[in-house]
Each structure stands twice: as structure tokens, then as C-alpha cells.
Amino acid sequence: MRALVARAVGEPPRVEEVELPAPGPGEVRVTIRAAGVCHSDLSMLNGTLAPPYPLVLGHEAAGVVAEVGDGVSRVVPGEQVVLNWAPPCRRCWYCGHGEPWLCERAGAPAVPRGRTPAGEPLHVTLGLGALAEQVVVPQHAVIPVPAELPAEAAALLGCAVLTGVGAVRRTAGVRPGDSVAVIGLGGVGLSVVSAARAAGAGPVIAVDVSPAKAELAAAVGATDFLLADESVNRAVRALTGGRGVDHALECVGRSSSIRAAWRATRRGGQVIVVGMGAKDDVVGLSALDIFHSARTLRSSVYGSSDPDRDVPELARAVLDGTLDLAPLITDRTTLDGAPAAFARMARGEGARTVVVP
């Protein structure tokens, strides 16, 4: 089968033939119908993360179950499913304490699975490797969704939408009338904007380095758009009675934008780091500022969500028209066009590219 394979940091990925094993006990084979190009995959290419190579990219996808191994009871062939890159084990301390998004056995950056035709051991991103024609995954890494749900929308539920909506609803607990700033308007950031407006927040201030994102931000519900520069802090305060926002959600994963989110937040407000950054990118805050501002700084891992509960809920919202994902999809391509999609993402263009293998 064909898949998008990365072989070294800084080297463009390319489509290659790879070999996956047959589904073993408790495993399923899924034919991919749609997959999103996510910034976490870009982190596997640009050195932010250091996975083993060769590596099949992709972790945000939906497809149809093609084959099941022995003992599989969760799905049957022919069902449409969303892939889950962090299936909780339901047995560890975190799962037992109601925090499945922190499961100590979930979310490994790369998992060995399959080989190249030359016999090289192959790894797959976040246990999935979904930028491919098919995947073989444990049954708990798939979540059944209605067949009538469009595959493009179903794919986004597996990462961008679940992460963004969860950050607003589950992590931040945004309430009607709260003020919100969202820094970084990729697929996740735009999902945050959309969820904040749906929660009744206002103003919802969208911030990005690219002026081209202003139209996208407005389409998903932002009340204001600001360019990310040194004037952002003053501009945010001017829109919030001089105080700053109740919630600033950082969707980039850089120390500079985390500090910007901190400065844009009112005393007693909270900063939610949604973006995944590099381990050597250190955030510096004044000890006096931390005390005086009484702000809360926390992260939102996978939207503080339980995918088995939240993905079906989001799927119903798409089908009943209360969750519109169309503005998030700015490009569509085939597997052969995926390398160009990563190049566009690296330049900060668009929101989500959906790949149809």
C-alpha cells in the first residue's frame, strides 16, 4: 500500500510503498477515507519532536473498517470510524481518576508497525500513521460514527476539533459573557474560536501572524482579529475595558506566544496552552508577576477529552447542524499532494488540508 513517509529531519516526506501486518488479535484494518494534515505531524518533520525513522505520518483521520482480528468486539467490517491517537487504557492511575487524556500508556510519538519493501522496520506516527491508504491499529484506537457523517468532517473530529472544542468546554470552562483570546489560527485555533462563540463568549479575539487569517477567523465566529505583534497586549486590553481577557488560549506551542497570552490575560484569568512546543523552548515569567497577577497557567492535552464520549457527541452536532466544520477545511488534495500541504502549513497558509488517499 502507499503511505506518506518521513525519513529525516528537514527532509520533505514522500509517498512510498510500505507493508503493514495483517490484523492480529484485538486489531483492525481501516481503509482511510480522509486524513487531516496536522501541525503535530509537521513537528515530526522539523525537529520539534525526534521520532525514529522511517516514519509514516498522519494521526487525524477517518475511514471504514476493512478487516478485524480475533477477539474484536468494538467494530465490524463496513463501519465508519474516527481514529483515536491516544486511546486510554482505562486501567492506569490517571484513567481511574477521571483523566483519560493523561493516560500513561497512550500517545507514544511513534510505534513500530510494518516494514518497507526493502525490509526496514517502519514506525507510524502516534500509533496510527494515517496519511496512508490503510492502517492497522488496536480496536480501542477506533471510534464508530454514523455512516452518514461526511468523511472529511469525521477526520477532523479525531484531533483538531476534539482538541479545540475540548480546550474551551472541558479545560477552560468558558461561560456565556466571558472574554476570550485565541493565539494561533490553524485548524485547532479556529476550532477554539468556533467553540468559544458557541459557548456564548464575547468578545472572541483571534490573533495570528498572517493577515490572511482574518477572513477565516470571522467565518468561524471571531468578533475581532489582531495581528500578532508587540501591540497585541494593548489592543486586547482596549477591547476588554483595560483588563485583558478572562481566557487566553495559545494554539501555537512557542514560548513567545505563551508569554503574549499571559500578558493579554486579566488578573485572575487563565492561560491555556493548547499548542505542543519544543522541550528546549523555555517560558520565563517573573515570580512577582505570577504572584501579583493571580493568573492560572495550564495546558490542555487532547482537549481534556474522553474521545469515546466526546467524538460521538461532536459527530451528532455536525449532523444536526450545530457544529459547522466547513470553514476549517481550506484545501483538499490526494496523497501525492500531501508534501505540498506540509510546505503550505510551514508557511502558515490556510487552516486544514484534507487528504483523500
Identify whether residues 103 and 172 lie together within a single domain: no
pLDDT at 349: 82
Q: Would you place residue 351 in the very low, low, confident or very high pLDDT band (cuts 50, 70, 90)?
A: confident
In a domain, 312, yes or no: no
- Residue pLDDT, tens place only, 184-221: 999 999 999 999 999 999 999 999 999 999 999 999 99
Q: Do 32 and 123 sit in the same domain of this protein?
A: yes
**Cα-based angle 247, 220, 244 (whole degrees, multiple of 5):** 25
Does one domain contain both 99 and 206?
no
Alpha helices in the chain (DSSP H): 39-46, 93-96, 151-157, 160-166, 187-198, 213-219, 232-238, 255-263, 287-293, 307-319, 338-346
Q: Give the C-alpha separation, 138 to 26, whole Å.
A: 6
- DSSP conformation class of 210: -
Contact 148, 319 (CB under 8 A): yes
Instruction: Give yes or no: residues 239 and 335 share one domain.
Output: no
Residues 59, 177, single domain; the answer is: no
Residues paired with residue 142 on neighbouring β-strands, in sequence order: 83
Of 345 and 5, the structure prediction assigns the larger pLDDT to 5
User: Predicted confidence band at 24 (pLDDT cuts at 50, 70, 90)?
Assistant: very high
Taking residues 2-22, report their average pLDDT. Answer: 94
Q: Three cell numbers at 343?
A: 510546505
pLDDT for residue 135? 98
The answer to whether residue 49 scores a pLDDT higher than 90 is no
How much of the chain exceeds pLDDT 70, in percent? 100
Confidence at residue 39, expressed as pLDDT on a 0 to 100 scale: 86
Q: What's 182's domain CATH number?
A: 3.40.50.720
Over 90: is that where the pLDDT of 302 sits? yes
Letter for the amino acid at 125?
T
Number of domains the chain contains: 2
DSSP string, 120-140: -EEEEETTT--SBSEEEEEGG
Coil/strand/helix, residue 313: helix
* Residue 286 one-letter amino acid: S
> Quick one: CA dihedral 61, 102, 204, 177, positive or negative?
positive
Q: Would you place residue 119 in the very low, low, confident or very high pLDDT band (cuts 50, 70, 90)?
A: very high
Within a domain: residue 311?
Answer: no
- In angstroms, the CA 283 to CA 264 distance is 15
User: Are residues 24 and 121 located together in one domain of the fold?
Assistant: yes
Domain assignment present for residue 308? The answer is no
Same domain, 254 and 343: no
What number is the average pLDDT over the span 235-263? 97
- pLDDT value at 319 more than 90: yes
Which burial class, exposed, middle or buried, applies to 280 when counting CB atoms under 10 A from its CB (0-12, 13-18, 19+)?
Answer: exposed
Residue 346 confidence (pLDDT): 86
pLDDT at 158: 94
Report if residue 313 sits inside a domain: no
Phi first, then psi, for residue 292 (nearest 5°) are: -70, -40
Closest CA relative to residue 191, chosen from 219, 214, 212: 219
Q: Which amino acid is at 183?
A: I
Dihedral of CA 339/47/184/247: which sign? positive
275 domain-assigned: yes
- DSSP-derived letter for residue 172 is I
Look up the CATH number of the domain holding residue 28.
Answer: 3.90.180.10
DSSP state at residue 62? E
| Range of lowest pLDDT (128-137, 188-197, 274-283) | 274-283
Which cell goes with 351? Answer: 487552516
| Least confident residue range of 9-13, 43-47, 63-67, 145-149 | 43-47
CA-based nearest residue to 330, from 349, 315, 357: 349
Residues 129 and 253 in one domain: no
Could you list the residue range(s) of the whole structural domain that residue 251 is in? 163-301
- CA distance linking residue 252 with residue 224, whole number of Å: 19
Q: pLDDT digit string (tens) for 83-108?
A: 999 999 999 999 999 999 999 998 88
Interatomic CA distance for residues 183 and 227, integer angstroms? 10
| 257 and 222 both lie in a single domain | yes
Q: Taking 90 as the threshold, does the pLDDT of residue 113 lie above it?
A: yes
In a domain, 317, yes or no: no
The whole-number pLDDT of residue 261 equals 97
pLDDT at 50: 83
User: How much is the mean pLDDT over the chain?
Assistant: 95
Do 154 and 187 fall into the same domain? no
Co-location of 126 and 206 in the same domain: no
What gap in Å lies between CA 265 and CA 280, rounded to an integer? Answer: 25
Domain assignment present for residue 114? The answer is: yes
Looking at residue 159, its pLDDT comes to 94
Of the residues 301, 316, 334, the one at which a domain ends? 301
Domain identity same for 20 and 107: yes
Q: Is 320 part of a structural domain of the chain?
A: no
Burial class (CB in 10 A: 0-12, 13-18, 19+), 315: buried
* Amino acid letter, 97: H
Q: What is the mean pLDDT of residues 14-21?
A: 96
Q: Which of 80, 287, 60 is nearest to 161 (CA)?
A: 60
